[in-house]
């Protein structure tokens, strides 16, 4: 007869994000799951326009937002920082009165300096902004953060804040490294010396944390070697077990006024470079009776809205805002196929297992995904879709047509295989077991 499990001991968790966190599905899942088990959960984020400083999420956990700016991170007296902020505010107001063409004609210092020197200046400015922004958030967080047993730092700009809170309160600290950050996005384009410096800093942060956590095995292996830490705990970004409507809802058709016969190809997530959005816009031209819906947010939003409005797209590219994590699966389940042709531009992208893959699995929607090491194994194992060369719009279009034009029995069989794989293996409930085990090891009391 097996020993009864130890009772759950109510404890305190503080999750730290280097963003406003409105659309952060991983944070939502962790916080809501912990709260449902009786724990006291605070999500500490940055303050954004129109957001309250404190609120209670519908799932029950508390959200506390703090104002953050690089200026506030300067090692100056408060009155000096306030003076600088007032000056900057006046300049921003004056700049907003200028025309966009005039603003475009005023390059930054780094961009006006040619070649290697300009890149070095830009790299130094980026590092300075990171350091000052982290200092600002850490200072503000220390003033309002509640006592915690575990502080869970998200991403490379969240972990130094979490470490500061851990040092002040004696809490255990988790570094949730959800990407190989020095191989991703803007950091991957920094000059070598700047990247080397940030790599040393991140390694130090990781080694100070009580546990490092990440989202897949390939990332974990890279991090263990680079940080010099034990293999990080792997908590995949799977979705909750979900029962999609059958037949599927027609949310996109209703929202966008699409013809009932139109098939919906969905890209959802961040609007940034190298996610394959440009290739999808090219590919959709060769997929009859289909509309590409781009649902998300990010730096490319204005550009994508302009491309969608261009008559050359024939109205077959539409842009929608991101939706909260609580509604996301209902929208994903309304698509005919989810596309994620992430480009092999960095090591981070080649090894990624993006949230949207697991969200499509949970919703039973087939995928067209990049034939890259991170995603390919899961797609092949589950039979949830097709793998393509993500750099080739023709290959992407061919895969979309193959899925969309498949006979109904074949489409239903794929849907059933996908849902079965999601329920048996790729569910948040299973991943939460790993997280709870790690938390329990840290505090010595069952979460």
Q: What is the pLDDT of residue 189?
A: 84
Query: Helices (DSSP H) in 99-237: which residue ranges?
Result: 100-104, 109-112, 115-144, 159-169, 185-188, 192-208, 217-227
d(Cα 402, Cα 237) in Å, to the nearest integer? 28
Block residue for tokens 């048996």? 424
Q: What is the pLDDT of residue 73?
A: 72
19: its two tokens:
């963003």
Per residue in 346-381, pLDDT (tens digit) is 999 999 999 999 999 999 999 999 999 999 999 999
d(Cα 375, Cα 362) in Å, to the nearest integer? 15
pLDDT-based confidence at residue 188 (cuts at 50, 70, 90): confident
Q: In what order do the strands lie in the sheet with 12-16?
A: 54-56, 62-66, 40-46, 12-16, 150-154, 172-176, 211-214, 233-234
202: its two tokens:
């991140």
Say if residue 79's pLDDT is above 60: no
Q: What is the pLDDT of residue 109?
A: 40
d(Cα 265, Cα 80) in Å, to the nearest integer? 52
Nearest Cα residue to 155 out of 119, 113, 202, 208: 202
Q: Which of 73-82, 83-92, 129-138, 394-403 has the highest mean pLDDT?
A: 394-403
* Average pLDDT, integer, range 222-232: 98
Q: Is the dihedral of CA 21, 27, 33, 37 positive or negative?
A: negative
Say if residue 403's pLDDT is above 90: yes
Q: Is 294 helix (H, G, I), strand (E, B) or coil?
A: strand
Per residue in 107-149, pLDDT (tens digit) is 444 444 556 555 556 557 778 888 899 999 999 999 999 999 9
Beta bridge partners, 290, equal 263
Q: Which of 20-34, 76-90, 280-294, 351-365 has the lowest mean pLDDT?
A: 76-90
213, burial (CB in 10 Å: exposed 0-12, middle 13-18, buried 19+): buried
Block residue for tokens 């803007």? 186
For residue 32, count other CB atoms closer than 10 A to its CB.
19
pLDDT-based confidence at residue 9 (cuts at 50, 70, 90): very high
* Average pLDDT, integer, range 78-99: 54
* Average pLDDT, integer, range 227-255: 96
258: CB partners within 8 A, 6+ apart: 252, 264, 291
pLDDT-based confidence at residue 72 (cuts at 50, 70, 90): confident
Say if residue 99's pLDDT is above 60: no
238: CB partners within 8 A, 6+ apart: 358, 361, 362, 422, 426, 427, 428, 430, 431
d(Cα 189, Cα 176) in Å, to the nearest integer? 23
Q: What is the pLDDT of residue 192?
A: 87
| Beta carbons of 325 and 25 less than 8 angstroms apart | yes
Could you give the angle at the alpha carbon of 346 between the alpha carbons of 340 and 348, nearest 5°? Answer: 70
Q: Which of 5-9, 95-99, 190-194 has the lowest mean pLDDT?
A: 95-99
pTM of the model: 0.85
Nearest Cα residue to 166 out of 144, 151, 146, 145: 151
**CA 220 → CA 25, 179, 183, 201, 225, distances in Å?**
20, 10, 14, 18, 9
d(Cα 59, Cα 35) in Å, to the nearest integer? 8
Mean per-residue pLDDT over the chain, rounded: 90
Q: What is the pLDDT of residue 91?
A: 58
Q: Which structural domains are found in the chain, ordered by start?
A: 12-70+112-238+430-443 (3.40.50.2000), 251-426 (3.40.50.2000)
d(Cα 139, Cα 419) in Å, to the nearest integer? 45
């Amino acid at each position: 007869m097996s020993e009864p499990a130890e009772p759950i001991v109510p404890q305190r968790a503080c999750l730290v994000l280097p963003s406003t966190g409105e659309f952060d599905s991983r944070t939502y899942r962790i916080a809501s799951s912990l709260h449902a088990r009786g724990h006291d959960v605070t999500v500490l984020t940055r303050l954004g326009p129109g957001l309250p400083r404190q609120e209670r999420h519908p799932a029950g956990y508390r959200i506390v937002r703090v104002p953050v700016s690089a200026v506030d991170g300067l090692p100056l007296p408060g009155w000096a920082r306030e003076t600088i902020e007032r000056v900057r505010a006046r300049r921003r107001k004056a700049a907003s009165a200028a025309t966009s063409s005039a603003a475009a004609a005023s390059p930054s210092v780094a961009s006006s300096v040619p070649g290697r020197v300009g890149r070095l200046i830009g790299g130094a400015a980026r590092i300075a902004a990171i350091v000052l922004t982290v200092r600002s958030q850490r200072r503000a967080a220390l003033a309002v953060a509640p006592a915690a047993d575990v502080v869970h730092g998200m991403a490379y700009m969240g972990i130094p804040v979490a470490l500061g809170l851990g040092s002040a309160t004696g809490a255990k600290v988790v570094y949730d490294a959800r990407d190989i950050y020095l191989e991703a996005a803007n950091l991957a384009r920094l000059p070598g010396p700047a990247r080397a410096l940030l790599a040393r800093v991140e390694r130090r942060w990781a080694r100070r944390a009580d546990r490092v956590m990440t989202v897949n095995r390939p990332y974990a292996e890279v991090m263990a070697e680079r940080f010099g830490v034990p293999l990080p705990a792997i908590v995949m970004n799977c979705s909750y077990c979900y029962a999609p409507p059958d037949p599927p809802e027609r949310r996109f058709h209703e929202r966008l006024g699409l013809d009932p016969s139109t098939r919906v190809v969905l890209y959802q997530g961040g609007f940034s470079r190298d996610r394959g959005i440009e290739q999808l816009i090219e590919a959709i031209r060769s997929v009859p009776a289909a509309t590409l819906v781009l649902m998300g947010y990010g730096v490319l939003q204005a550009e994508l809205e302009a491309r969608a409005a261009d008559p050359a797209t024939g109205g077959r590219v539409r842009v929608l805002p991101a939706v909260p994590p609580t509604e996301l699966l209902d929208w994903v389940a309304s698509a005919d196929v989810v596309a994620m042709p992430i480009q092999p531009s960095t090591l981070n992208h080649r090894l990624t297992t993006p949230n949207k893959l697991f969200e499509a699995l949970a919703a039973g929607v087939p995928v067209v995904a990049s034939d890259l090491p991170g995603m390919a194994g899961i797609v092949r194992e589950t039979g949830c879709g097709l793998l393509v060369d993500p750099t080739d719009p023709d290959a992407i279009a061919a895969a979309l047509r193959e899925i969309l034009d498949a006979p109904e029995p074949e489409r239903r069989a794929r849907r059933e295989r996908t849902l079965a794989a999601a329920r048996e293996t790729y569910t948040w409930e299973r991943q939460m077991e790993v997280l709870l085990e790690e938390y329990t090891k840290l505090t010595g009391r069952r979460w």
